[in-house]
Structure 1
Amino acid sequence: MGILLLIITGLIYGLVGTVILHFINNIFALFGEPTILEQPFILDFLQKYNLPTHSFAISCTWVALFFLVAIILFQLPPVQGLFLKIKAISKPEGDLKNYLDACWQDVCNRAGVDAGRYRLYVQHSNQINAFALGHDRVVVLMGLINEMNSAELKGILAHELSHLIHRDTTYGMTSVAMLNVYNAIIIAFELIVWMITMVYNILRYIPFINILAVIFMAFILFIRFIVRILHSIANFGYVLLAPFGSRVAEYRDDRFAHELGLGQELASALAKLTRYGDTEGFINQLVSDHPPLRKRVAKLYELSQQQ
């Protein structure tokens, strides 16, 4: 499911990003700079595999290259470590470290995995949350530690361990990498439109030239209108597809905790979280990347009754 949704996400944003980059390339061509994207190594690559070398194919190749570079960068431990520093996330120390290590060791023993393969981190925040990151990191917020007893904390850690085992976080980081590339293309396009608008505001006061400027600006605004429609379609598709995959993963990870003998402990922890709000309403549930807490608790209870 994760790989399928990742492919769909890449295709959606990759296609729209290619169209936008194609527009950017053609805008530069109007100014006499048709070779901005037509770099020799790109053309050589396309010709080597007998692929077309027109503007759209070149733009598609650039988007794929940007995606690949970003995906590799986002998977590197130093990049993930930088994220931890920015968010003021650090390794636990003293009694807190001993407490978390003991809980984590028990969960890993139940799962039959080496606890040393993974690393625990703490964020000093009052928010009640925990999340997996990258290939081997689990971050627990102090609000969660203070709210849950050790059994409930183990249930949550089992859920997060499942995310790592099933590589949900790897898929997540890959999606984030592609989204960042796509957003960079959008920003580049808007910046180009802004610069053209600045030039237009000067030229429109010059006789004769102003007529051509108005026509050209109308063309640019039309392209911008198309880009915004495509952008909205891409975001709408992502908002519908990505949360669906996440919700499926959440139920699977809850089941994983249940299989480790920590289902009721996780259910107790989730029940506590309902006091701080839950996902209500059809639309909110449709776009939420987590199922409603009450449904997750009910599912865990159902699993316990099946034993």
Structure 2
Amino acid sequence: MLFVPSVETTVSRLMFRVRPPGPDEMNHLRQPWQSVCQAAGVAPGRFVLMVEDSHELNAFAAGGRTVAVTQTSLRLPPKQLEAVLAHELGHHLSGHPTVSILSWWYALPARGAAFLARIAVRFILAVADAFARFGGGTGALVALLLSLVVLTMLAFVGFWLLLIPLTAPLLAWASRIGELRADRTAAELGYGPHLVEVLHRWIAADGRRQESVKARMLATHPSPTDRIHRLHGLRR
């Protein structure tokens, strides 16, 4: 259903809180988008442009045809805005949003299992605390019995729980590869230098934060510095 155009537009507006561009915003978007699509050899009308009411410098591709930019991105110089749009078009041309939808869909059982496990643990702690008021032995016995019940439940959903620590880093790694591939597409369309300028703006706005190893493993985007380095390498 998410690939039906009307459904996709509705879901995008609800999930990502985006909206159709206003007249002035469309005037800013129309020519850059047409230039990017012309460079890529695709029809501009094949995709739907949306705007996110955010002050962050950002954009994203979603579903089968949605390209969204923030209000701040609309204020970029024309060539830099084209570079951002070229990056997002690169996601669509490589099918990355489709893969993201499928990954989200097939990860639902594991997420559901993790949710149930958290609820069960909280329930055990709450009941044990309540029974502890009637005596330490009674509370410990109740907690033990409930733990056995929860362990029995987890035996049925354990397969999905085991997948969580394995799939999360793999999906994040695949997302980072997709970002680099979209950067390459933008560079192949002639927007490499302008995309580098946008990434420098991103660094200036966000700063150079030091992240832990776990955060880097689960990051869905490579660092702007790494992306800049790779874009410079494509020009050699």
TM over 0.5: yes
Counterpart Cα distance in 1 of 2:149 and 2:95 = 43
Question: Which blocks of at least 5 consecutive residues in structure 1 are unaligned?
Answer: 1-72, 206-211
Which one of the candidate residues 71, 84, 95 is aligned to 1:156?
A: 84
Look up the match of 1:299.
Answer: 230
Cα 1:163–1:223 change in 2 (3 A) is same
Structure 1 residue 216 displacement after superposition? 4.9
RMSD: 3.5
SS of structure 2 residue aligned to 1:252: helix
Cα 1:190–1:295 change in 2 (3 A) is closer
SS of structure 2 residue aligned to 1:131: strand
2:165 is equivalent to residue 236 of structure 1: yes
Question: Which blocks of at least 5 consecutive residues in structure 2 are unaligned?
Answer: 135-140
- Per-residue CA distance 1:121-170 (angstroms, 9 max, x = gap): 01121111000010001010012222x21101111111100101111001
SS of structure 2 residue aligned to 1:289: coil
SS of structure 1 residue aligned to 2:217: helix
Counterpart Cα distance in 1 of 2:196 and 2:162 = 37
2:206 is equivalent to residue 271 of structure 1: no
SS of structure 2 residue aligned to 1:110: helix
- Larger-gyration structure (1/2): 1
Counterpart Cα distance in 2 of 1:289 and 1:94 = 33
1:166-205 alignment, distance < 5 Å: 166-187=94-115, 194=123
Letter in 1 for 2:64: H
Counterpart Cα distance in 2 of 1:87 and 1:299 = 29
Counterpart Cα distance in 2 of 1:258 and 1:86 = 30
- Per-residue CA distance 1:61-80 (angstroms, 9 max, x = gap): xxxxxxxxxxxx44444255
Counterpart Cα distance in 1 of 2:207 and 2:161 = 29
Give the paired residue count: 228
Structure 2-normalised TM-score? Answer: 0.80
Look up the match of 2:20.
Answer: 91
Structure 1 residue 261 displacement after superposition? 0.8
Structure 1-normalised TM-score? Answer: 0.63
Cα 1:220–1:100 change in 2 (3 A) is same
- Per-residue CA distance 1:162-216 (angstroms, 9 max, x = gap): 1011110011011122233433344456667859x97xx89xx9xxxxxx97875
